[in-house]
Amino acid sequence: MGAWTETDPRRVAQRDALIAVLSDYGRVAVAFSGGIDSTVVAQAAFLALGDQAIAVTAVSDSLASGELEEATELARRMGIRHRVIRTEEFADPNYLRNQSDRCYFCKSELYGRLAGLLGELGVEVIVSGANTDDMGDHRPGLRAASEHGVRHPLQECGLSKADVRALALAWGLPTWDKPATPCLSSRIAYGEEVTPERTRMIDQAEQWLRQRGLRIVRVRYHKGDLARVEAPLDDLARLVELDIRGELVTAFRALGFKFVTLDLEGFRSGSLNSLVPLENLLRGGVLAQPSRSATV
C-alpha cells in the first residue's frame, strides 16, 4: 500500500507537503476512524514516520457496524501500527443530553483518552483528519481538539475533501470514494436523548437499506421513535414501490420505530444542523464563512 500513481504536479506537491508537515511533528497518534480523511493522514504519517506513527481507532456504541473491521484492514494494508481503544462518551450526561454541542463532549472524551496514552503509545502529538471544508461548519469537536493540542495536518496544508479523495485515489487506497460515515449518534435529532438502544436501531435500519443496494443513506431519529429516511433522489422511487415499501415499514417497526417517513428532499449531509439555534452558530463562529461541509 502507498504506491503513487498520480502525475499531476499539484497533487505531488500536496502529497509532499503533507508528508513534510507530519515529519515535523515527530512521533504521532492518528485519530483513525477509517474514514477517508483519517485514512489519508494515516497513510502520510506512515510514509513520513514509519513505526513512529500509530493509528488509534475508538470503539463505542456510536460506531456503525463494519467500521472497526474496515479500519483494521486498512491499517494492515498500509502497514501502520494500529491500536483499538474503548471510549465512554455514553457515560457523560452532557453527551446523552444531545444538545448542539454533543460532539464537543465526544471529542473531549476521545482526545482526553489519547492524551493519557501518549507515553504508553510512544508518541508526542495527536493528529486528526479534519480538512479545510470542516472549518466553515458547525464543528464543536474542533474546540475540543484545540483544548487538547490536536494538530490538523490536512488543514495546515490547505487540503479540502476533494483534495483528500484525489490523494487517496493516487495512493490506491480502496476507500478513496467511500461515502462519509459519521457516528450513529449524529443521526439523532438534537434534544432527543442519545442511547445505545437508539443508535442500535439506526445502525440496523441503515444496514437493512444498504443490503438492498443503497450505498448512501441516513436514517434520522426524531421524537416519538420516528425514522426519517434520507436517500439520493435517484433512489427515492425505489423506496416507495409497493413491495420494498411494505418490507421497509415492517423491518423498521420490528427494530423499534413507530413511524417511518421518507424525506422527499433526498439525502443531504448535515440536515440536522438546520435545527441548531442561530445563537449557537454565532457563538461558535461558524457563520464567518460559508459552510461547505457538514457534520452528519
Domain boundaries, the chain: 9-170, 184-273
Strand partners, 81: 54
How do residues 27-52 score in pLDDT, each as one tens digit?
999 999 999 999 999 999 999 999 99
Spatial CA neighbour of 58 closest among 88, 91, 85, 89: 85
Other beta carbons within 10 Å of 137:
20
3, 6, 127 from 221: Cα distances, Å = 42, 41, 31
Other beta carbons within 10 Å of 278:
8
Q: Are 209 and 236 in contact, with CB atoms under 8 Å apart?
A: no
Give 207's contacts (C-beta < 8 A, 6+ positions apart).
65
Spatial CA neighbour of 220 closest among 179, 270, 173: 270
End-to-end CA distance of the chain: 29
How do residues 54-81 score in pLDDT, each as one tens digit?
999 999 999 999 999 999 999 999 999 9
Question: Crossing angle, helix 9-25 and helix 36-49, to 10 degrees?
Answer: 70
In CATH terms, are 9-170 and 184-273 the same topology? no
Spacing of C-alpha 184 from chain mean position: 10
What would be the CATH architecture of the domain defined by 9-170?
3-Layer(aba) Sandwich (3.40)
**CA separation for the pair 63, 101 (Å, rounded):** 19
Q: Which three cell numbers stand for residue 173?
A: 487506497
Q: Are 161 and 22 in contact, with CB atoms under 8 Å apart?
A: no
Q: What is the pTM of this model?
A: 0.87
Q: Which CATH class is domain 184-273?
A: alpha beta
34, 157, 199, 238, 254 from 130: Cα distances, Å = 13, 11, 24, 35, 37
* Model pLDDT, residue 41: 98
Q: Which three cell numbers stand for residue 91?
A: 457515560
Q: Give the neighbor-by-neighbor strand order of the sheet with 28-31.
A: 81-86, 53-59, 28-31, 125-127
Residue ranges of the chain whose pLDDT lies below 70: 1-2, 136-138, 269-296
Spatial CA neighbour of 288 closest among 100, 138, 104: 138
Q: Which residue bears the cell 434520522? A: 220
Q: Are 134 and 69 in contact, with CB atoms under 8 Å apart?
A: no
**CA separation for the pair 20, 17 (Å, rounded):** 5
- Please tell me what DSSP assigns to residue 137: S
Q: State the average pLDDT for the chain.
A: 90
| Helix, coil or strand: residue 167 | helix
Burial class of residue 2, CB neighbours in 10 A (0-12, 13-18, 19+): middle
* Model pLDDT, residue 242: 85
